[in-house]
A and B are shown apart, each in its own frame.
Chain A
Amino acid sequence: MSFSRKAGHFFAVPLLVALALAAMPHPAFAHVEQGQASGFLTGLKHPWSGLDHVLAMIAVGLWGAQLGNPALWLLPVTFPMMMSLGAVMGLIGMGLPGVEVGIALSSLLLGGMVMGEARPKLAVAVLLVGFFAIFHGHAHGTELPPGQSGLLYSMGFVIATGCLHGMGIGIGLVHRWPAGRLALRGAGALIAGMGLFFLARALT
């Protein structure tokens, strides 16, 4: 037997094993989907779990209702978008200083705007809401429990946030009556007061 045939036999076994390994059926793990429904429900519930988050989002709706069109819908569109941006910052490891202080200030200032029935330029209102939304997203958007779907968590989180704005707008519709206007300003004062409390807690 020649040397080349011997060498061929020597390499044949590992080659066959390698071919077999390559041809072996692999489980398609790429599409394993687990925790879908719980991911959505977790996302849907999460914004309701913190009073600081809830009050700020309702304040956005109330303020939008006071300001009327187009702020009525532009503010609730801005908040989830910027909140997602804040969450992305958190997810890619980009730090944001003073997150808790920012969240507390959002309740304080947005509540203050509702209390004072402030009417700044639309761009200023959008900037203010968008700025504070980043803090909320950074703090809450990244808290996905292990094993749950990131996509459905994200959708649930955004939908719940939008619903809270919608709730604020719904309450804010009382703005058309004088007594309702007064009640709205009272609600703003309450939110601002809670913001002060959150701020004190964040600073201590």
Chain B
Amino acid sequence: MTIRPNAAWRAGAALCVGMLLRPSDAAAHLVTTGMGPVYDGIGHLLLTPEDLVSVLALALFAGLRGAAQGRRAMLLLPAAWFAGGLIGLRVTGATSFPVPAVSFLILGALVAADLRLPANGVAVLAVVLGLVHGVLNGAALRQGAGSLGLLGIMAALFVLVALASAFVVSLERPWARVAVRVAGSWVAASGLLLLGWAFRK
């Protein structure tokens, strides 16, 4: 018995359709608030410690460097995050590089050391952090909140950075600034530990 080409095509097409229709779990950790994609984006940022802690660390550092740097971070970080998010929405593939660990380590160490960077240092940090984390966020939001979710993240970032950096700027007593630096050292220590988990044997 010979199999006719048409039969082979039909069998193949049926198999393909069957496979494509096969139900599959959606196990991504997208936050669904039930209030729409903008709120989903806000929820995503606030419930993702990898992003939230990095943003707070940058805000603390910007606050330690003064009001002008805080204002720069407040405007540049959301913009860069949005740009990175748009790239992430279109780029496929995931990175195995432990980005949050490195963000924690660098930003935490900067806060702990209260390092005086060149004039544009905070701006560069804000743009780099925004682009890198934004790309990762965009990839995560691709199947959920999408670009509207990114708008929500932008709004939340603006508010978070404004509040946290303004809080640090308002600290006048030396011990209060030391407390901020201690918090930075905790972020750096957590990042170091997280780096260890990423390269665990």
Contact = CB atoms under 8 A, between A and B. Distances in A.
Interface of A: 1, 5-6, 9, 12-13, 16-17, 19-21, 23-33, 73, 76-77, 80-81, 83-85, 87-88, 90-93, 141-142, 144, 150-152, 154-155, 157-159, 162
B194 A150 contact: yes
Contacts of A30: 28, 94
20 contacts: A1-B5, A9-B9, A13-B15, A16-B16, A17-B15, A17-B16, A20-B19, A21-B19, A31-B30, A80-B185, A80-B189, A83-B189, A84-B196, A92-B196, A92-B199, A144-B197, A151-B190, A152-B49, A155-B53, A155-B186
Given A20-B20, A91-B201, A84 B27 contact: no
Q: Is the interface of A mostly helix, strand, loop or mixed?
A: helix
Q: Is the interface of B mostly helix, strand, loop or mixed?
A: helix
A19 B143 contact: no
Contacts, number: 129
A141 B194 CA distance: 10
Contact of B12 (A13, A26, A27, A91): A13
Given A80-B189, A162-B186, A151 B27 contact: no
Nearest to A20: B16
A91 B5 contact: no
Contacts of B27: 27-29, 31-32
